[in-house]
């Protein structure tokens, strides 16, 4: 890969592996480093002491070998607290064929569509904020939420004066990591005598529908999905013996989205519901989270935004500060060049429902606490 510096921006030069008359292969990449500091609790790492364990990097390539055909892949690594640990993974590797505007097919390791940001969480330039609302877009859960091995159908259907409908329908296999967000949450729920021995791959099916309204800049979306069976094995050390417990859980989710782009403003709101049911017959949990956000672009190098979000790990325990987390955030974004972005963000939070670190946060309550996030991203 060759790069040149033009107008303060690093630009990738395409390779022509198939000769001057063949299709070029484009390479792009990014790397980011962040810093987290919180006033009271350890959140997304050891943030109460200040944590630099907040970084990610990726390298991707794409080619259009035939008309209406695209092949793309990305290698990715990240580290957020105890999640990721810089393991290099195949983030996506997909083949896409678009028959026409109404219908296309995509297969391989694909990005899973859900809301505004699930399939573009690594595209830092696509948003104002350092941290997206964590009740929906948890930075530790990339291994569980972002990609799956399978396929999807997609397209856009015009509705004449009523706008258009865009759809994506997918199915495949998710492969949770033992150092990923789902595994961390399971470990956090275990007693001191328990450990997580294994977490298996699982099937997932779902889809997303967007109504692009006739009003320019206004759209509404709905997404839903089902994991029929998520299996994990825990080991419990009892006095004089040890037992292994095979736990099977079914998960279903739905998400509603609304966005309005008006002049230099971006307004967004989303609500997310997720239900867990155990095959053992134990009562399920019903998670709910929502947020509303606004951002304003002042000029080509400065943007500001804010959001308010509430997370409830179980709607049956909304008054329990260990199960909810409320977060008001304000962010400033500076684009030093088209390839280099710097962000600073402050949070005021109440509750500790998303900490996932009981050992590092032994005395939790519903009092307010603060968090500062810094992040710089370089891309080409």
Cβ-Cβ contacts under 8 Å for 97 (sequence gap 6 or more): 68, 69, 104, 105, 106
What pLDDT shows up at residue 115? 97
Separation between Cα atoms, residue 273 and residue 312, nearest integer Å: 10
Q: What is the pTM for the complete model shown?
A: 0.90
Separation between Cα atoms, residue 271 and residue 288, nearest integer Å: 8
Give the number of other Cβ atoms within 10 Å of residue 215's Cβ: 10
Task: Give me the residues of the chain with pLDDT under 70, please.
Answer: 1-22, 280-283, 358
Burial of 281-291, coded b for 16+ CB within 10 Å and e otherwise, reads eeeebbbbbbb
Separation between Cα atoms, residue 343 and residue 125, nearest integer Å: 10
Topology adopted by domain 26-379 = Porin (2.40.160)
What pLDDT shows up at residue 16? 64
Widest CA span in the chain? 72
Alpha carbon of residue 297 to chain centroid: 23
φ, ψ of residue 20 in degrees (nearest 5): -65, -25
What pLDDT shows up at residue 3? 41
Query: Domain-by-domain residue ranges, the chain?
Result: 26-379
Separation between Cα atoms, residue 324 and residue 317, nearest integer Å: 8
Q: Is the dihedral of CA 226, 232, 238, 243 positive or negative?
A: positive
What pLDDT shows up at residue 2? 42
Burial of 17 (0-12, 13-18, 19+ CB in 10 A): exposed
Separation between Cα atoms, residue 309 and residue 118, nearest integer Å: 17
What pLDDT shows up at residue 12? 55
What pLDDT shows up at residue 10? 46
What pLDDT shows up at residue 285? 84
Helices and strands per DSSP (H, E), number in the chain: 2, 19
What pLDDT shows up at residue 7? 39
Burial of 366 (0-12, 13-18, 19+ CB in 10 A): middle
Tell me the DSSP string of 131-145: S--TTTS-TT-HHHH
Q: Are 197 and 187 in contact (CB under 8 A)?
A: no
Tokens of 264: 């230099």
What pLDDT shows up at residue 179? 80
Residue 278: closest CA among 240, 219, 234, 326: 234
């Amino acid at each position: 890969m060759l790069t040149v510096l033009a107008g303060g921006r690093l630009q990738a030069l395409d390779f022509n592996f198939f000769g001057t008359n063949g299709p070029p292969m484009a390479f792009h990449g990014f790397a980011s480093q962040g810093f987290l500091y919180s006033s009271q609790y350890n959140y997304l790492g050891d943030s109460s002491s200040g944590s630099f364990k907040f970084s990610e990097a990726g390298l991707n390539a794409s080619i259009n070998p035939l008309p209406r055909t695209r092949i793309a892949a990305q290698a990715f690594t990240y580290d957020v607290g105890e999640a990721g640990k810089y393991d290099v993974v195949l983030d996506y590797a997909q083949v896409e064929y678009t028959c026409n505007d109404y219908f296309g097919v995509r297969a391989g390791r694909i990005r899973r569509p859900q809301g505004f940001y699930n399939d573009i969480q690594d595209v830092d330039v696509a948003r104002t904020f350092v941290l997206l609302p964590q009740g929906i877009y948890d930075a530790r859960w990339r291994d569980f939420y972002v990609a799956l091995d399978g396929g999807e159908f997609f397209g856009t259907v015009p509705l004449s004066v009523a706008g258009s409908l865009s759809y994506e329908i997918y199915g495949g296999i998710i492969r949770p990591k033992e150092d990923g967000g789902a595994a961390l949450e399971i470990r956090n729920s275990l007693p001191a005598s328990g450990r997580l021995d294994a977490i298996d791959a699982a099937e997932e099916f779902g889809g997303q529908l967007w109504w692009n309204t006739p009003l320019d800049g206004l759209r509404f979306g709905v997404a839903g999905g089902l994991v029929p069976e998520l299996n994990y094995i825990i080991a419990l050390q009892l006095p004089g013996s040890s037992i292994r417990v095979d736990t099977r859980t079914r998960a279903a989710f739905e998400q509603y989205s609304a966005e309005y782009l008006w002049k230099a403003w971006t307004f967004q709101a989303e609500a997310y519901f997720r239900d867990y049911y155990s095959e053992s017959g134990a009562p399920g949990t019903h998670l709910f989270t929502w947020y509303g956000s606004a951002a304003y672009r002042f000029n080509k190098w400065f943007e500001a935004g804010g959001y308010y979000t509430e997370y409830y790990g179980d709607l049956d325990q909304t008054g329990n500060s260990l199960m909810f987390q409320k977060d008001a955030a304000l962010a400033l974004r500076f684009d030093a060049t088209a390839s280099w972005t710097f962000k600073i963000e402050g949070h005021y939070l109440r509750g500790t429902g998303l900490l996932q670190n009981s050992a590092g946060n032994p005395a939790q309550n519903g009092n307010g606490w603060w968090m500062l996030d810094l992040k710089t991203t370089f891309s080409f």
